[in-house]
């Protein structure tokens, strides 16, 4: 499905007909000409439909298709399903609040899982301006979200699928 054809399936509220999250894109080697940007990678993954819808509603598609690099902590569709429908509908209708939420899930630069553990990162500044708390003591948690699939490579960054929508502080 192509964003150009308007067949957007939300990149989450930063990703469902997929085997494991990211399986369709994980086999694409780094540097491959076929590698897609973070938006198209999320669309191809299939488990970020709500996120992609939100990215489109917030007008962030062109930004996330830009040069980057970006690290996106992308809530899966299951993560968005935990958000009460009325709250999610209100967010989708409020572009400013939606932009704040989505940019809280994005960090400038490319942060791989090995960087988190190897450099013992405990925080990361978001594009929104907030700070994410990182805990790699048992798997990787970002704020209250658990990373369920790490290092989904894209041409302009990396996606880490998470199980919870993080709310800006």
Q: Compute the CA torsion angle 14, 17, 20, 24 (nearest 10 deg).
A: -80
Closest CA to 159 of 33, 68, 54: 68
Domains and CATH numbers, the chain: 3-162 (2.30.180.10)
The pTM (predicted TM-score) of the whole model is 0.79
Q: Render pLDDT for 21-45 as a digit per residue (tens, 0 to 9).
A: 333 333 344 444 468 999 999 999 9
What is the model's pLDDT at position 34? Answer: 62
| Residue 10 pLDDT > 90 | no
Per-residue confidence (pLDDT) for residue 76, from 0 to 100 = 97
Read off the tokens for 51. 């996120």
Tens-place pLDDT, residues 54-111? 999 999 999 999 999 999 999 999 999 999 999 999 999 999 999 999 999 999 999 9
Question: How many C-beta atoms lie closer than 10 Å to residue 124's C-beta?
Answer: 19
Per-residue pLDDT band at 119 (split at 50, 70, 90): confident
């Amino acid at each position: 499905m192509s964003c150009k054809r308007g067949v957007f399936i939300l990149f989450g509220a930063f990703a469902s007909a997929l085997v494991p999250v990211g399986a369709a894109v994980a086999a694409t080697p780094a540097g491959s000409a076929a590698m897609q940007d973070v938006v198209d990678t999320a669309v191809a993954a299939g488990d970020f439909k709500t996120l992609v819808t939100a990215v489109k509603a917030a007008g962030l598609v062109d930004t996330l298709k830009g040069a980057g690099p970006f690290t996106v902590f992308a809530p899966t569709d299951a993560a968005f399903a935990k958000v009460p429908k009325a709250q999610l509908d209100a967010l989708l209708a409020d572009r400013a609040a939606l932009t704040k939420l989505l940019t809280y899930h994005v960090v400038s630069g490319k942060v791989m899982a090995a960087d988190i553990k190897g450099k013992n990162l405990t925080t990361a500044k978001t594009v929104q301006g907030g700070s994410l708390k990182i805990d790699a003591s048992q798997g990787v948690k970002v704020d209250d979200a658990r990373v369920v699939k790490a290092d989904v490579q894209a041409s302009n960054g990396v996606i880490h699928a998470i199980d919870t929508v993080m709310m800006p502080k």
